[in-house]
């Protein structure tokens, strides 16, 4: 018997101390993103981009996660997770931790990135740095482009505090002087319209170089006196409010989900306030007035040393044409046997195809979908759409197919957070083109990624399928790591067809032969595979579990992994974001190692491998989270072809697990430590895969 399995665990696998709180883990992930902004090995403009991503992540954290915890606290909800942390204790820890992260964001911005950008000829000029000509230009720009769009609201009984939109830039202005109506408030609110650019390039005639910029906030602040004739402005202070952005629609009560969401969307801008950001120089009495108005407490106040909307500086990456300060251009590869003119269906009839994005092009997937329009033998196409983007080649192909008289069925997930408006629009356009559109299953988000083509061949219908770990979004396919499987395997295709029937019509899906899906069979399969490896270890046989995913938080899966570790199973996990499991605890999880890779591409693929030789290897749309395994429609599919299985294991597990440049190792206390190559040879997984699969080469 394995020596480890003989030990009695120091604590039981269900003990609350063995689980890291999800929100705390999510904050640690944002620290890892922010660390990229301070990393000297990352190109300078990419560092600025990572800074803005960390700010955007923080916004969403407050909009969704913190707002939900505040609601739980107000409702008196007790312990909600396996870590047994109460909501009110979460809030206290969140405020303490996020203040530290925000302070680091502004330190990196002010003390590191701004000076380095200036050294490279890229300047973001503060008001105090403008010369006379620049100040005159800013005043002219303000009068022409900004002032006509501003409507100051003076606070008095006839002018109550205006509705302040979520995350919009605002100023509270203090003034003295004569008023035409003898009003004596002395306080006005100025909101910056969302359509105005936040980063403005100075013209060459007043700048020292081609890349001198000013922020809209500085232009408004410097000229704000123009809005109040004959008044003496005593102070102007930026502020920004973050609001609850979750939408609530009772699906069992509404008759038309699209219409209900369309009605609910405008409310996102005016949800309950959850955070107030103000400039560092904002007087306490003004900050307190704002807190009182937005019904927030002192803990909800964040005073920042710089612009309150750092995330809007993401535009700088696009505005500055300096390839030397960005990641080098990357061209995704195309498998050699998919050269122009290749009959994709002929290839798929002989073998499966695997594409590893973004290292390999998303083009073959688009070509597969376009076949529904161009091939007269293709009679029908069925697809799930979660996120496609506002302008989508996939959607256009489906619309063209419907207009061409093909049978098109689209399951559009309207509730993909922050993409609801785009998805309502694409659903409407598909319906207008003649496609059948459904919105999934009440109470369950349809998160699976699958397309099914039916093609008439030799007097019968043959099915072809695409299954993916990512979305049908050409933009994210260039920046997210994901897998695509194109197959004509009869059992997989039949399973996918059954699942589409399950999504569109009543009834129970008969037993599937190859794929597993949530909320029915996927969770049970994962637990079963973990338990099988544990039993092998108890028998003294070789066992191994390796998996890659975005998040790991499901208590049942974590407990099964602990039991497998107690049995002696080596377990290696690559988890990009949230991980609630604690590795390295003696007698409980000492055989478990967890790493996260943060780099140029967002690690998004989900791969699960069980057995010393990856006997069972799957790709999936699902993370090991409660929502994915129990409250969503997800698909997990096997990699059956031996050569493709070897590729998946090497590219998604072996190479990432050897990374010593961009990998972070999770400690048992919930902190992460970045790997250092030291005397080892440098191994950066994303660079290795880009070199191997990118360009014109690569394998299928």
The pair of structure tokens assigned to 693 is 């699969």
- In the predicted structure, residue 157 carries a pLDDT above the cut 60: no
Report pLDDT for 249: 46
* Percentage with pLDDT > 90 across the chain: 74
26-35, 145-154, 247-256, 421-430: least confident range: 247-256
Confidence of residue 181 (pLDDT cuts 50, 70, 90): low
What is the rounded CA–CA span in Å between residue 161 and residue 210? 41
User: Quick one: average pLDDT of 378-386?
Assistant: 94
Average pLDDT, the chain: 90
CA nearest neighbour of 168 among 188, 192, 200: 192
Report pLDDT for 282: 95
By CB neighbour count within 10 A (0-12 exposed, 13-18 middle, 19+ buried), where does 97 fall? middle
What is the rounded CA–CA span in Å between residue 136 and residue 119? 25
Report pLDDT for 183: 58
Q: Residue 587's beta-bridge partner residues?
A: none
- Which of 150-154, 368-372, 687-691 is predicted most confidently? 687-691
CB atoms within 10 A of CB 610: 23
Domains assigned to the chain: 4-18+517-693 (3.30.870.10), 336-510 (3.30.870.10)
User: Quick one: average pLDDT of 177-184?
Assistant: 63
The pair of structure tokens assigned to 485 is 């499987």
- In the predicted structure, residue 200 carries a pLDDT above the cut 90: yes
CA nearest neighbour of 420 among 468, 448, 385, 369: 385
What is the rounded CA–CA span in Å between residue 415 and residue 647? 34
Query: What per-residue string of b and e applies to 402-412 under the rule 16 or more CB within 10 Å gives b?
Result: beeebbbbbbb
CA nearest neighbour of 638 among 610, 614, 619, 612: 619
- In the predicted structure, residue 134 carries a pLDDT above the cut 50: yes
User: Quick one: average pLDDT of 624-635?
Assistant: 95
By CB neighbour count within 10 A (0-12 exposed, 13-18 middle, 19+ buried), where does 509 fall? middle
User: Could you give the angle at the alpha carbon of 575 between the alpha carbons of 571 and 578, nearest 5°?
Assistant: 120
Task: Give first-to-last CA distance, the chain, whole Å.
Answer: 42
106-115, 472-481, 600-609: least confident range: 472-481
What is the rounded CA–CA span in Å between residue 172 and residue 239? 7
Report pLDDT for 154: 87
Location of structure tokens 């007698």? 587
Q: For 143-187, what is the HEC assignment? A: HHHHHHHCCCEECECCECCCCCCCCCCEEEEEEECCCCCCCCCCE
Report pLDDT for 75: 86
What is the rounded CA–CA span in Å between residue 100 and residue 62? 15
User: Quick one: average pLDDT of 631-649?
Assistant: 97
Q: What is the pLDDT of residues 11-56, one digit of tens each?
A: 577 788 999 999 999 999 999 999 999 999 999 999 999 999 999 9
The pair of structure tokens assigned to 23 is 């929100």
E strand or H helix at 276 = strand 273-279
- Distances from the Cα of 26 to the Cα of 89, 94, 308, 592, 617, angstroms: 16, 10, 22, 20, 28
The pair of structure tokens assigned to 44 is 């300078």
Residues classed as catalytic: 447
Which distant-in-sequence residues (6+ apart) come within 8 Å of 292 by Cβ?
A: none
Q: What is the pLDDT of residues 453-480, one digit of tens each?
A: 999 999 899 999 999 999 998 888 999 9
- The answer to whether 698 touches 361, Cβ cutoff 8 Å, is no
By CB neighbour count within 10 A (0-12 exposed, 13-18 middle, 19+ buried), where does 173 fall? buried
- In the predicted structure, residue 506 carries a pLDDT above the cut 90: no
298 secondary structure, DSSP code:
G
Q: What is the pLDDT of residues 536-565, one digit of tens each?
A: 999 999 999 999 999 999 999 999 999 999
CA Rg value for the chain: 27
- Which of 371-380, 509-518, 566-575 is predicted most confidently? 566-575
Torsion of CA 365, 371, 373, 376, to 10 degrees: -170
Report pLDDT for 323: 97
- The answer to whether 223 touches 139, Cβ cutoff 8 Å, is yes
What is the rounded CA–CA span in Å between residue 375 and residue 380? 11
Report pLDDT for 307: 95
């Amino acid at each position: 018997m394995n020596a480890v399995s003989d030990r009695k665990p120091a604590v039981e696998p269900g003990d609350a101390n063995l689980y890291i709180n999800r929100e705390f883990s999510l904050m640690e992930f944002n620290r890892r993103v922010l660390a990229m902004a301070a990393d000297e090995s990352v190109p300078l403009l990419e560092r600025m981009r990572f800074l803005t991503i960390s700010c955007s992540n923080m916004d969403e954290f407050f909009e969704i996660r913190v707002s939900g915890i505040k609601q739980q606290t107000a409702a008196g909800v007790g312990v909600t997770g396996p870590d047994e942390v109460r909501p009110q204790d979460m809030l206290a820890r969140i405020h303490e931790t996020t203040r530290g992260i925000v302070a680091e964001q502004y330190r990196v911005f002010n003390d590191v990135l701004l000076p380095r950008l200036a050294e490279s000829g890229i300047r973001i000029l503060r008001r105090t740095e403008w010369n006379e000509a620049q100040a005159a230009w800013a005043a002219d720009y303000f009068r022409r482009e900004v002032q006509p769009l501003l409507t100051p609201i003076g606070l008095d009984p006839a002018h109550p505090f205006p509705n302040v939109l979520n995350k919009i830039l605002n100023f509270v202005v203090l003034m003295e002087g004569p008023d035409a109506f003898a009003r004596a408030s002395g306080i006005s609110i100025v909101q910056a319209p969302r359509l105005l650019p936040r980063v403005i390039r100075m013209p060459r005639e007043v700048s020292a170089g081609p890349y001198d910029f000013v922020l809209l906030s500085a232009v408004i602040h410097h000229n704000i006196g123009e809005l109040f004739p004959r008044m003496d402005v005593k102070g102007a202070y930026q502020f920004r409010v973050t609001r609850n952005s979750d939408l609530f629609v009772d699906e069992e009560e509404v008759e038309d989900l699209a219409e209900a969401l369309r009605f609910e969307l405008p409310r996102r801008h005016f949800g309950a306030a959850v955070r107030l950001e103000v400039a560092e120089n904002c007087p306490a009495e003004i900050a307190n007035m704002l807190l009182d108005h937005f019904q927030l407490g002192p803990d909800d106040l964040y005073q920042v040393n710089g612009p309150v909307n750092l995330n809007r500086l993401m535009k700088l990456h696009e505005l500055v044409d300096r390839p030397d300060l960005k990641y080098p251009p990357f061209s995704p590869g195309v498998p050699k046997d998919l050269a122009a003119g290749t009959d994709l269906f002929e290839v798929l009839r002989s073998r499966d195809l695997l594409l590893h994005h973004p290292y390999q092009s998303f083009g073959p997937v688009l070509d597969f979908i376009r076949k529904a329009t161009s091939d007269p033998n293709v009679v029908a196409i069925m697809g799930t759409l979660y996120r496609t983007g506002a302008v989508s080649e996939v959607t256009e192909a489906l619309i063209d197919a419907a207009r061409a008289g093909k049978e098109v069925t689209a399951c559009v997930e309207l509730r993909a957070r922050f993409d609801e408006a785009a998805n309502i629009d694409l659903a409407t356009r598909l319906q207008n083109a003649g496609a059948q559109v459904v919105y999934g299953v009440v109470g369950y988000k349809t998160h699976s990624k699958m397309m099914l083509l039916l093609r008439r061949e030799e007097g019968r219908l043959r099915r072809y399928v695409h299954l993916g770990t990512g979305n049908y979004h050409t933009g994210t396919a260039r920046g997210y790591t994901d897998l695509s499987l194109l197959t004509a395997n009869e059992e997989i295709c039949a399973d996918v067809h059954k699942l589409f029937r399950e999504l569109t019509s009543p009834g129970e899906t008969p037993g599937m032969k190859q794929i597993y899906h949530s909320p029915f069979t996927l969770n049970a399969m994962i637990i079963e595979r973990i338990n099988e490896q544990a039993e092998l270890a108890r028998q003294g046989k070789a066992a191994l579990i390796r998996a890659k995913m975005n998040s790991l938080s499901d208590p049942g899966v974590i407990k099964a992994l602990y039991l497998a570790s107690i049995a002696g199973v080596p377990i290696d996990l690559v988890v990009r974001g949230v991980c609630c499991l604690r590795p390295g605890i003696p007698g409980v999880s000492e055989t478990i190692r967890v790493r996260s890779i943060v780099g140029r591409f967002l690690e998004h693929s989900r791969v699960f491998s069980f057995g010393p030789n990856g006997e069972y290897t799957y790709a999936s749309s699902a993370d090991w989270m409660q929502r994915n395994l129990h409250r969503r429609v997800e698909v997990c599919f096997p990699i059956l072809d031996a050569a493709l299985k070897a590729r998946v294991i090497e590219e998604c597990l072996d190479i990432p697990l050897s990374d010593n440049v961009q990998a972070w190792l999770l400690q048992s206390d919930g902190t992460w430590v970045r790997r250092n190559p030291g005397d080892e040879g440098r191994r950066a997984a994303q660079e290795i895969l880009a070199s191997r699969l990118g360009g014109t080469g690569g394998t299928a």
